[in-house]
Amino acid sequence: MRPVAVIGIGKTPFGVFPDRDLRSLTTEAIEKCLKDAHCAPAEVEAFYLGNFAGPSFVGQNHLAPYVASAAGITGVPCTRFEAACASSGSAFFHACSSVAAGMYDVVLVGGVERMTSQPTPRVTEILASAGDCNGEIRAGATFPALFAMIARRHMHQYGTRREHLAAVAVKNHANGAKNPDAHLKKLITMEQALAGKPVADPLTLYDCSLISDGAAAVLLAPLERAAGFTSKPVRVLGIAQTSDRLALDEKEDITTFAAVARAAQKAYQMAGVTAKDIDFAELHDCFTIAEIIASEDLGFCRKGEGGPYCLEGRTCLGGEKPVNTSGGLKAKGHPVGATGVAQICDVALQIRGEAGARQVKKHSIGLAQNLGGSGATCVVSILGAAA
């Protein structure tokens, strides 16, 4: 297997863009990415696109060649990947695999979603289709309801408090306020977070990620060719994708995501590192409880201590293990098909020392964790400086 490097990154801002469509969003991200890598569209040998629900959100299918051709990329394999909110994380995993295997040398990975084209009730319905349609959805469950049950069980089992959930929101809002591309650049206090409008007890509005539009792209090449494109390649040290059952009632313990733990173990082994070696991470905080559980499942802290771990400031920008320096899904935004690749872009920015006001001091090794549904899919990627 050949070592793989990220040689270019590009993102659109995340937010509400009523005048944009999937093609314009993706084209912007791709053009930024190719420019960053000093690469022409004709040099791209394959294009992998992560998109969860373009047909439902905007009525367009056959999306990979649809958006690639708008960016001047034709005549190569163009494939769409769907894995709920881990769609572009999965696209990245398979793109890395194809380059590592020697099938292609230059592979472009994109992710896009335009969610604000639909009213909130319809968005909720579309997102719910990533759950168990024959059980949970038929019973009326939505993802806020499912993660509220997860949070309530975590509270019962480990003594997690509302203040712990709120601490995640306060931290990620503070980071998002420093991110020029974030959907929500709004500082909040602990009092505001605790007094948020109820969504699904114990979750409030401040515990839930945003409905966003946006796109992101990364370009991959064998490490041995990376210097021909960029002076700051970022090496893919380890990567793994695993799965689990969709429905909560089929899981042995809903306070842990088995797919996260399995993917982390495989990625750590491939990278030759442990959780202690990770300098910073972008975690999938679709809900605040998801970041807490991910911190535990990834081994950053012991099981049941994810809440205090954040409340004590250990995951803030100046903490021992900065988490979601981008603002996370909570503040940066969560255009679901774009989220996984956007996480890779943010990790690469940190490793390259280009994160601006959000730059962390220790940035040699970063981790991205992209979750699909209520834990049925997880992709864990570990990146590091190529030198």
pLDDT at 387 over 90: no
Domain membership flag for residue 125: no
Pick from 294, 300, 283, 279: nearest CA to 385: 279
Whether residues 195 and 108 share a domain: the answer is: no
39 is catalytic: no
Write out the two tokens for 307: 């809440």
Query: What is the domain extent for residue 227?
Result: 4-119+211-232
Q: How many structural domains comprise the chain?
A: 2
Mean pLDDT of 209-217: 97
What pLDDT sits at residue 105?
Answer: 98
Q: What is the pLDDT of residues 313-350, one digit of tens each?
A: 999 999 999 999 999 999 999 999 999 999 999 999 99
334 is catalytic: yes
Whether residues 95 and 168 share a domain: the answer is: no
Give the residue carrying structure tokens 């909560």: 248
Whether residues 174 and 204 share a domain: the answer is: yes
Domain membership flag for residue 135: no
Domain membership flag for residue 203: yes
CA distances from 173 to 156, 207, 326 (A): 27, 11, 9
- For CA atoms 181, 271, 51, 80, the dihedral sign is positive
Domain membership flag for residue 263: yes
What pLDDT sits at residue 386?
Answer: 85
Q: What's phi and psi for 52, nearest 5 deg?
A: -80, -55
Domain membership flag for residue 133: no
Domain membership flag for residue 177: yes
The enclosing domain of 99 has a CATH number of 3.40.47.10
| Nearest-angstrom CA–CA distance, 26 and 28 | 5
Please pick, among 334, 345, 363, 378, the residue that the annotation labels catalytic: 334
| Nearest-angstrom CA–CA distance, 302 and 304 | 6
> How many percent of the chain have pLDDT more than 90?
97
CB 88 within 8 A of CB 109: yes
What pLDDT sits at residue 8?
Answer: 98
Q: What is the pLDDT of residues 57-108, one digit of tens each?
A: 999 999 999 999 999 999 999 999 999 999 999 999 999 999 999 999 999 9
Please pick, among 33, 78, 85, 286, the residue that the annotation labels catalytic: 85
Whether residues 68 and 149 share a domain: the answer is: no
At 138, the pLDDT band (50, 70, 90 cuts) reads confident
CB 104 within 8 A of CB 46: yes
Whether residues 190 and 221 share a domain: the answer is: no
- For CA atoms 291, 295, 298, 303, the dihedral sign is negative
The radius of gyration of the chain from alpha carbons, rounded to an integer in Å, stands at: 19
Q: What is the pLDDT of residues 36-61, one digit of tens each?
A: 999 999 999 999 999 999 999 999 99
Whether residues 175 and 225 share a domain: the answer is: no
Q: What is the pLDDT of residues 152-164, one digit of tens each?
A: 999 999 999 999 9
Q: Is residue 111 exposed (0-12), middle (13-18) or buried (19+ Cβ within 10 Å)?
A: buried
What pLDDT sits at residue 137?
Answer: 84
| Nearest-angstrom CA–CA distance, 367 and 266 | 13
As a three-state string, the secondary structure of the chain is: CCCEEEEEEEECCCECCCCCCHHHHHHHHHHHHHHHCCCCHHHCCEEEEECCCHHHHHCCCCHHHHHHHHCCCCCCCEEEECECECHHHHHHHHHHHHHHCCCCCCEEEEEEEECCCCCHHHHHHHHHCCCCHHHHHCCCCCHHHHHHHHHHHHHHHHCCCHHHHHHHHHHHHHHHCCCCCCCCCCCCCHHHHHCCCEEECCEEHHHECCCCEEEEEEEEEEHHHHHHCCCCCEEEEEEEEEECCCCHHHCCCCCCCHHHHHHHHHHHHHHCCCHHHCCEEECCCCEHHHHHHHHHHCCCCCCCCHHHHHHCCCCCCCCCCCECCCCHHHHCCCCHHHHHHHHHHHHHHHHCCCCHHHCCCCCCEEEEEEEECCCCEEEEEEEEECC
Whether residues 250 and 102 share a domain: the answer is: no
Whether residues 285 and 341 share a domain: the answer is: yes
At 134, the pLDDT band (50, 70, 90 cuts) reads confident
Q: What is the pLDDT of residues 3-32, one digit of tens each?
A: 999 999 999 999 999 999 999 999 999 999
Domain membership flag for residue 321: yes
CB 28 within 8 A of CB 231: no
| Nearest-angstrom CA–CA distance, 36 and 13 | 16
Whether residues 99 and 174 share a domain: the answer is: no
Domain membership flag for residue 28: yes
Give the residue carrying structure tokens 């995340």: 14
Whether residues 225 and 239 share a domain: the answer is: no
Whether residues 163 and 64 share a domain: the answer is: no
Residue 235 β-bridge partners: 5, 384
